[in-house]
A and B are shown apart, each in its own frame.
Chain A
Amino acid sequence: MKWWMLCKVAWVALQVNLMRSILTMLGIIIGVAAVIIMLALGAGAQHEVDQQIKNLGGNVFVVFARGRASSGARGASGSVQTLTEMDAEAIEQQIPQVSVAAPTIWANAQVIYGNMNWAPSVRGVDNRIFPAQNWQLAQGREFSAAELNSAGRVAIIGATVQRELFGASDPIGQTIRVDRTPVTVIGVLDAKGQNTQGNDQDDLIFMPLDTVRKRIAGMTLASPRAVRSLIVQVADERDMALVEQEMEALLRQRMRTTGTDAPFQIRNLSEMVETRARTMQIFNGLLAAVASVSLLVGGIGIMNIMLVSVTERTREIGLRMAVGAEPGDIMRQFLIEAMLLCSLGGLLGLSIAVLVTRSLERFAGLTAIIQPEVVLLSIGFSALIGIFFGYYPARKASKLQPIDALRHE
């Protein structure tokens, strides 16, 4: 019998017991829905991570000065063991794969404008921070050489700071107070939004390194050119491992340390983001367990209902055999029926998954992405379950003796 005829026969058979068929499909429906939701959330999380890495620059290391930067600890040779702006230059010049190394100093400070009050993160930087972290200016300009060299009282503010202090009014040229130091706003950064941990990336102020060193209270550094961290961007992501090694060696040599407790620490930003994204996988694991149990239960349900169907339709099977159906024809008929049943369950599961992910996005703020290949895969997989669990009943039907089947009451 031709395939499309078999499908027609199967479709008619399903319609006869529609309610029973749907109940049977419940396991498959739930299983497929769980699989799709799981993969959609996974893809959503991955997408956010990618987005985040793109924001940070996926090819970025952060070199932190370890311990208290103000300790002034001295090595045996008398050199100061701390990160400095010169280390940034050395990395840029001696490791050709590095495109930019931006020195930064981090601080927290009170910022006041008129009667508005805000406490953003304050970063001492130079203009290398813009390429290193993919910052764009929404308004204004970068720092001038004079401002950088003479601890100019200027600031470039993040989008959040702009919103909180200035609202709708134009901040460029306005004077704000950073820990009582008056500073002129010369630029506003393009908004980056939240990172995957929900932290606001735009709640910051950039000022020249020296300005932060000299004018922000409480900043005492080990040496005049010391920094808290270096943001190092690698030209090609494939060179990350190599650059990490070379940077480690270079910094150790410059600081003359060999021990395990080097005064610096190199971290890969994308790794950090991904590590946190892994918490997502615990949830996914749970869903995977639900999915596999329901698919198994669903499969057994399919097997059960197909056995019932074979028994109910024994006379039909006998008649078909009498007029010329070969065992293979009968086998195919029931396999296709089981497959159709499962694919239908898969489709219903897909619809439920779409509904659930839409509401998760809307009400829980999660990102979920249902990829087309996942849809095809899950429908195909349900069809496979149909074949697997439909095989035994179909075989049983095909093994019937025509005369016994015809005589069946």
Chain B
Amino acid sequence: MSQPVIESLGLTKTYRMGSQQVQALAGVDVQIKQGEFIAVMGPSGSGKSTFMNMLGCLDSPSSGEIRIQGENVTHLSAAELARIRNRYIGFVFQQFNLLPRTTALDNVLLPLLYRKDHDGTEDFASECLHRVGLAERMDHHPSQLSGGQQQRVAIARALVNQPAVVLADEPTGALDTETGLEIMQLFQQLNQEGKTIVLVTHEPEVAAFASRQLIFRDGRLQSDKQVQAESASEHLARYRAQKQQEGLA
């Protein structure tokens, strides 16, 4: 039961830039269990994104291993890795990465279209859009949606394949404070429903909503601790009340 959903073992990544070598990761061991909400913290350039990309099989390590539900995926082919991502991983990016000229529903549907066994139904995709509060916006194109709404579409897309883990790299980085809080509220709710979430952020205020914090420094795991998660809903309510007061004043 306690088998990790994803784990990294002695993970290193070295980038070669001409004669120069950059050690982006220098041996990281992390186990991620079912139902966790993890914030990956650290200063800029500490290796957070590099770590995430390797968890999500978007990039391959220089040494060490990534295991997804116990299976070592380090030496799989590009096509096999694509299938792993399609089955087990949901991505949320800072820049949303939605396809323009494609409706919200079709954007959400995209991962399923790359499944050999997909029967073409859109039911679950529209259910996911319902879940993120965009039932009314299914036929809208990204350009017709606000930043927060676009990120919700991206989250629905990350949910549609019922992944083992949702990986989000600075998902609030391009959003204002209130919208960011709304997104964090959504992540917290999804976690309470049982989703495993790993979220990269350099803002402690955002990391506070997670129940476990990994802090990276110079490509190493500096600390890994369980914390009492703050409630994004409460923060949001407080923020809105404050804003209203300022508006009245």
A-to-B contact residues, CB < 8 Å = 1-2, 5, 12, 16, 315-316, 318-329, 401-403, 406
Q: Which of B59, B83, B97, B101 contacts A324 (CB 8 A)?
A: B83
- Name the one of B59, B87, B110, B161 contacting A320, with C-beta atoms under 8 angstroms: B110
Of the candidates B53, B102, B120, the one whose C-beta lies within 8 Å of that of A12 is B102
From residue B161, how far is it (CB to closest CB) to chain A in Å? 7
CB-contacts of B55-93 with A (<8 A): 56, 58-59, 78-79, 82-83, 85-87, 91, 93
Nearest B residue to A330 by beta-carbon distance? B82
CB neighbours of B239 from chain A (8 A): none
B8 nearest CB across to chain A (Å): 16
Instruction: Please give the residue numbers on chain B whose beta carbons come within 8 Å of chain A beta carbons, in ascending order.
Output: 53, 56, 58-59, 78-79, 82-83, 85-87, 91, 93, 97, 99, 101-102, 110-111, 113-115, 120, 157, 161
Contact, CB under 8 Å: A327 / B99: no
Report A81 CB to chain B, min CB distance, Å.
Answer: 86
- Asked, given contacts A1-B113, A1-B114, A406-B93, whether A323 binds B86 with beta carbons under 8 Å apart, the answer is yes
User: Do A327 and B115 have beta carbons less than 8 Å apart?
Assistant: no
Q: Which of B59, B87, B102, B110 contacts A401 (CB 8 A)?
A: B59
- Select which of A5, A316, A327, A402 is within 8 A of B58 by beta carbon: A402
Find out whether the CB atom of A325 lies under 8 angstroms from the CB atom of B99. no
Do residues B58 and A323 form an inter-chain contact, with CB atoms below 8 A?
A: no
Are A323 and B114 within 8 A (Cβ)?
yes
Is A403's CB under 8 angstroms from B59's CB? yes
Q: Does B111 contact A324, Cβ atoms closer than 8 Å?
A: yes
Minimum Cβ distance to chain B for residue A5 (Å) = 6
Interface contacts beyond A1-B114, A323-B86, A324-B83: sample of 13 additional A-B pairs, CB < 8 Å, sorted by A: A1-B113, A5-B113, A320-B114, A321-B82, A321-B85, A322-B85, A322-B97, A323-B110, A323-B111, A324-B85, A329-B114, A402-B59, A403-B58
Instruction: With CB as the reference atom, state the residue of chain B lying closest to A6.
Output: B113
CA of A397 to CA of B134 in the docked complex: distance in angstroms? 33
* CA–CA, A406 and B78, complex, Å: 15
Whether B102 lies near A2 (C-beta < 8 A) is: no
Closest 6 CB pairs of A and B: A324-B86, A324-B114, A323-B111, A326-B79, A326-B82, A403-B59
A402: B residues at CB distance < 8 A: 58-59, 85
A58 to B111, CA, bound (A): 66
* A–B Cβ pairs within 8 angstroms, 18 of them: A1-B113, A1-B114, A12-B102, A321-B82, A321-B85, A323-B91, A323-B110, A323-B157, A324-B115, A324-B161, A326-B78, A327-B78, A327-B79, A327-B82, A402-B59, A403-B58, A403-B59, A406-B58
8 Å CB contact of B97 from A1, A16, A329, A406: A406
Interface pair A323/B85, CB less than 8 Å apart: yes
Q: How far is the CA of A5 from the CA of B111 in the complex (A)?
A: 13
Query: Which residues on A sit within 8 Å (CB–CB) of B91?
Result: 322-323
Whole-angstrom CA separation of A318 from B79 in the bound complex: 14
CB neighbours (8 Å) of B113 from chain A are 1-2, 5
In the complex, residue of chain B having the shortest beta-carbon distance to the beta carbon of A8: B106
Q: Which of B53, B86, B113 gathers most chain A CB within 10 Å?
A: B113
B57: nearest residue on chain A (CB-CB)?
Answer: A402
Q: A401-B59, A403-B53 are in contact. Are A325 and B114 (CB under 8 A)?
A: yes
A325 to B78, CA, bound (A): 10
Q: Which of B82, B97, B101 has its CB near the most chain A CB atoms (within 10 A)?
A: B82
Residues of B within 8 A of A322 (CB): 56, 58, 85, 91, 97
